Amino acid sequence: GFKMGIVGLPNVGKSTLFNALTRTAAAQAANFPFCTIEPNVGDVAVPDRRLETLAAIAGSRQIIPTRMTFVDIAGLVKGASKGEGLGNQFLANIREVDAIAHVLRCFEDDDVTHVDGRVDPVADAETIETELMLADIESIEKRLQGLTRKVRGGDKDAIQQERLLKAALSVLEEGRPARSVPVDAEDAKAWKMLQLLTTKPILYVCNVDESAAATGNALSEKVAAMAAAQGAASVVISAAIEEEISQLDADEAAVFLEDLSLDEPGLDRLIKAGYDLLHLETYFTVGPKEARAWTIRQGTLAPQAAGVIHGDFERGFIRAETISYDDYVALKGEAGAKDAGKMRVEGKAYTVKDGDVLHFLFNA
Ligand code: GDP
């Protein structure tokens, strides 16, 4: 599965957001820096209304959404890259995630302490980015030393790694994140394996007050401008509202959202933004037993898409019977689509498309 790490300075609303996402009290929110000491991990259903539509047509007894993992990563502070505070734990956890959801405090509240004594989300973003860059520099320097002997021995992988690490180091030393290094297709895999912190895609999460949940505010606009300049994504959310919504049933939540002029919970937008950021898409398997959504990267071929369900499906892949979501709905299901000639038989070279309803045939 895909993992998003929730990061941010202490007291910006990470735990509140994580609680809302996972509907548990496991990550305790409190007005106290370092509240979230253990990394908390939660699997979150990816909201997708298409799944209910498909299940209704097929009469599926069960609906199983696809999931995304969120990790609430302990508060980062200035100096974290030097191992102060909870830094080391933070850095170890953040290496493992596919993308970073960076929560920024965009609300004013004198009762909630800001670690740096002022509310300035753009400065906060820079504080964290700086720590991540320093951490990358330190780890690159260590790794370069470790590679010296192999490089001298002519080890091809080591030579490639050294070249990439040096390219990263030179931009980092100019104060830019490693993601600003242009990487060739043939280096892409090795580059990713370096797991540098400042190569992870970033989604800025502007945590605003209740009153600004629908519109955003001046602070979240500054963040949006910064995100656009970096090619990063941003969403506006009110963690406090989301936490309230997460405790309501569906009908109550709908009324509450309408009162706030919101179309959908901010969490839904957050999860979708994470999905987009990671270039993910969804395909479906639909039958009387269950209607189920599966996550793949955009551009995934049919056998690898099948492999998300089970390794055997990929190894023994023969073909995929494929109906687009729109055809499935318009023709009221598999039989109708088949009769209309809209069920395609696709082979190993087929690139799965978002919304495809797939049935895999494979050698067991
Ligand atoms: P963390 O340290 O980043 O995990 O922050 P928490 O989620 O523990 O939140 C810190 C404090 O800020 C708590 O007292 C929250 O209730 C409060 N808080 C979180 N989000 C908001 C918000 O949108 N508005 C206001 N006024 N307070 C918030």
Ligand 1 pocket test target in 6, 16, 243 with most atoms within 8 Å of CB: 16
Report the residue count for the chain. 364
Contacts of 185 (CB under 8 A, 6+ apart): none
Give the position, in ligand 1's atom list, of the atom nearest the Cα of 9. 3
Burial class (CB in 10 A: 0-12, 13-18, 19+), 262: middle
Rounded to the nearest angstrom, the gap between the alpha carbon of residue 38 and the centroid of all alpha carbons in its chain is 20
Number of H helices, E strands in the chain: 14, 12
Q: What is the homologous superfamily of the domain 3-277 according to CATH?
A: P-loop containing nucleotide triphosphate hydrolases (3.40.50.300)
Q: So where are the chain's domains?
A: 3-277, 299-362
Q: Pick one of 3.40.50.970, 2.30.130.30, 3.10.180.10, 3.10.20.30 as the CATH number of 299-362.
A: 3.10.20.30
Compute the distance between CA of residue 202 and CA of residue 155 in angstroms, rounded to an integer.
34
Give the position, in ligand 1's atom list, of the atom nearest the Cα of 109. 26
Tell me how far CA of residue 266 lies from CA of 2, 254, 273, 344, in angstroms: 20, 13, 10, 37
Tell me how far CA of residue 102 lies from CA of 27, 167, 235, 247, 259, in angstroms: 17, 26, 10, 24, 28
Going from the Cα of 239 to the center of ligand 1, the distance in angstroms, rounded, reads 8
Residue 95 is predicted with a pLDDT of 85
Going from the Cα of 11 to the center of ligand 1, the distance in angstroms, rounded, reads 6
Phi, psi of 64, rounded to the nearest 5 degrees = -125, 105
Sign of CA dihedral 328, 329, 333, 338: negative
Q: Give the closest residue to 129 by CA, choosing from 168, 102, 89.
A: 102
Rounded to the nearest angstrom, the gap between the alpha carbon of residue 287 and the centroid of all alpha carbons in its chain is 29
Going from the Cα of 143 to the center of ligand 1, the distance in angstroms, rounded, reads 38
The closest residue, in CA terms, to atom 21 on ligand 1 is: 240
CB-CB contact of 284 with 356 (8 Å): yes
Sign of CA dihedral 346, 348, 351, 356: positive
Ligand 1 touching residue 19 (CB < 6 A): no
Residue 22 is predicted with a pLDDT of 76
Rounded to the nearest angstrom, the gap between the alpha carbon of residue 67 and the centroid of all alpha carbons in its chain is 11
Tell me how far CA of residue 229 lies from CA of 7, 29, 223, 257, in angstroms: 20, 32, 10, 31
Ligand 1 touching residue 105 (CB < 6 A): no
Ligand 1 touching residue 10 (CB < 6 A): yes
Residues of each annotated binding site for ATP: 11-16
Contacts of 27 (CB under 8 A, 6+ apart): 14, 15, 18, 19, 36, 40, 72
Tell me how far CA of residue 238 lies from CA of 108, 217, 219, 235, 301, in angstroms: 12, 11, 13, 10, 38
Give the position, in ligand 1's atom list, of the atom nearest the Cα of 16. 7
Phi, psi of 149, rounded to the nearest 5 degrees = -65, -45
Sign of CA dihedral 133, 137, 142, 143: positive
Ordered mean pLDDT values, 10 residues apiece, the chain (364 residues): 89 88 47 46 86 97 90 70 58 86 92 83 93 90 94 96 98 95 96 93 95 93 95 93 86 89 86 92 97 97 97 96 98 97 98 98 90
Tell me how far CA of residue 322 lies from CA of 153, 280, 308, 356, in angstroms: 51, 19, 16, 6
Ligand 1 touching residue 74 (CB < 6 A): no
Going from the Cα of 14 to the center of ligand 1, the distance in angstroms, rounded, reads 7
Burial class (CB in 10 A: 0-12, 13-18, 19+), 111: exposed
| Per-residue DSSP letter, 234 | E
Ligand 1 touching residue 22 (CB < 6 A): no
Pairing of strands 317-323, 357-362: antiparallel
Burial 181-214 (b: 16+ CB within 10 A, else e): bebeeebeeebeebebbbbbbbbbbbbbeeebbb
